[in-house]
Amino acid sequence: MDTRKILSKLLSLLRAKTKIGGLEISDTDLRFAYFMDGSLVTAGLRLPPGIIEDGEIKNYEMLIEALKKFHETISPGFRDEKIINAVVTLGSVHVYTQVFSLPIMNDENLKEAVRLNINMISPFDLSQAYAGWQLINQDDKDLKIEILSAFAQKAFIDRLKSALAEAGFFAVAVESGTLSLTRLIREKGAEFKTEKPLLVLSADDRGLKFLIIRLGQLHFEYFQSWSDIRGEAKETSWEDFENAIERNLHQVLNFYGSHWHEPLTEIAVASNSLVEEMAKVVKDNFSMNVKELTLNFGQSLKREWYEAAGAAIRGEIPRFEDKDINLFEMTAQEEFHRMEVMNFIKFWEVLVYSSMGILLLFLISSYVFLANMGKSVESQSSFKLSAQQNEEIGALGTKIKDFNNSVTLLSNAQKSLKPKSHVLDKITSLMNKNGIAVDRLYFQASDLPVIFSGETDSQEQILNFKNAIAGDSSFSSVNLNLSDINQQEGAFYFAISFKVK
């Protein structure tokens, strides 16, 4: 049973599910996009020069101030959230990607093979970098799979995470801008066909970008900045622009031909103002079908918003279904799930108090109505109640008694609730210290024990976990039966019960 999937569906039904947007961070801009009632809402902020340069944070304090100001801009339309959750896409930060192939194998061997390949191809010392990977193709005919890997400097990601947290943002995931762009084309590209390879030529305020998309996934990317294109000149000439497209496109097509066999006959051009010029250069020098990249968004969207929109699409994916690359440590995902649970508990606390308030208001209104009616009856000396009216008043009195009983039951139920946030914190801490993974955590009534089901690598870790709970003053009546410990495929599964004081 996938508890995360059940929790996500429950949160959706109760409208307590955490909302996630897409946040693009580049040298020059902050851009945020999120979906509201089926439409994409956007907000942007121009960064002052010198905060981020060439993918490095140069002024940490000014970055925090800019993020705080941006948070104030976004928050009113984002349900006034104190913490804004976002899939962060890196627009101009150096994220290195590479595709490699492996033979088809089982999951355990696959993870080890991927780890070894990542160690070999990483452009950084892995102790100083974050690396991520995802499966992008499985060829059952040739019995091989293709893996897309990505790498980013750990120092930059850690400083960025710290700045985001201080400004009121929580990074659910971090990815490259090209992955966000690929997702946007795959999900919203007009006439996009997954089975047909596509070459994308994009121009924005940073430079030229070339992408190869196969089977709906990013397989290759190449970027050249405007400063590299113009060299020492102050401005980029038309000749430099044309030569850059022609030269780089030759290199990209040669790379494609040496790695894949499907014919690449179509190129999509994306730009705010250079589409016709770029298309002309391609048509004059290559035998390819050229078209402008268009989207089925139901609204106009300029080129500079593509990466933020692609990240926003990822934010709409349930967390348990999101398998794309995340250049972040795994504890970030665990922390996000913990935040969702806390939001769920807070939602029900508000619901209980609101229900009691509504019942109390109804009771007071009924009392006032009956009191006024009684005074009216007393003022009419000649008034006599009929048998039918006596029956109606008797029935109304019974309903009032039922309401009183309902209010009493709700009040007793609310008093019996115990805050569970500190309990969850303690259990999570003991799990992390003893290497335990939770499968199920079931809170029963306050006088009944909590049932915890989990898994780990050894019986010793189970006993350590049991002793840690028993030694904590917050718990009592700890019970672990040997019959509840089972070993399956190298892992130990167990169940333990305890009471919360």
**At residue 137, does pLDDT exceed 50?**
yes
- Judge whether 45 and 113 are in contact, CB under 8 Å: no
3-state secondary structure of 324: coil
Indicate the residue type of 231.
G
For 221-270, what is each residue's pLDDT tens digit? 999 999 899 988 888 899 999 999 999 999 999 999 999 989 999 999 99
Q: Under CATH, which number does the domain 421-500 receive?
A: 3.30.1360.100
Q: Do domains 18-131+152-189+297-329 and 191-294 have the same CATH topology?
A: yes
Cα–Cα distance between 441 and 495 in angstroms, integer?
A: 10
Among 263, 268, 243, residue whose Cα is nearest residue 253: 263
- The confidence band for 340, taking pLDDT boundaries of 50, 70 and 90, is low
The pLDDT, as a whole number, for residue 332 is: 43
- The confidence band for 336, taking pLDDT boundaries of 50, 70 and 90, is low
Helix axes 459-470, 421-434, angle to 10 degrees: 140
- Pairing status of strand 84-90 against strand 129-139: unpaired
Domain boundaries along the sequence of the chain: 18-131+152-189+297-329, 191-294, 345-416, 421-500
- Other beta carbons within 10 angstroms of residue 36's beta carbon come to 12
CATH architecture label of 18-131+152-189+297-329? 2-Layer Sandwich (3.30)
Q: Under CATH, which number does the domain 191-294 receive?
A: 3.30.420.40
Q: What is the mean pLDDT of residues 285-310?
A: 93
Q: Which of 194-203, 285-294, 323-332 is predicted with the least confidence, judged by mean pLDDT?
A: 323-332
Q: Which of 93-97, 281-285, 411-415, 471-475 is predicted with the least confidence, judged by mean pLDDT?
A: 411-415
For 80-121, what is each residue's pLDDT tens digit? 568 899 999 998 677 899 999 999 999 889 999 999 999 999
Cα–Cα distance between 357 and 379 in angstroms, integer?
A: 33
- The confidence band for 209, taking pLDDT boundaries of 50, 70 and 90, is very high
Cα–Cα distance between 499 and 478 in angstroms, integer?
A: 7
Q: Which residues, 6+ apart, have CB-to-CB distance to 29 below 8 Å?
A: 44, 45, 46, 47, 91, 304
The pLDDT, as a whole number, for residue 210 is: 96
3-state secondary structure of 122: coil
Please give the backbone phi and psi of residue 83, each rounded to the nearest 5 degrees, phi first. Answer: -110, 120
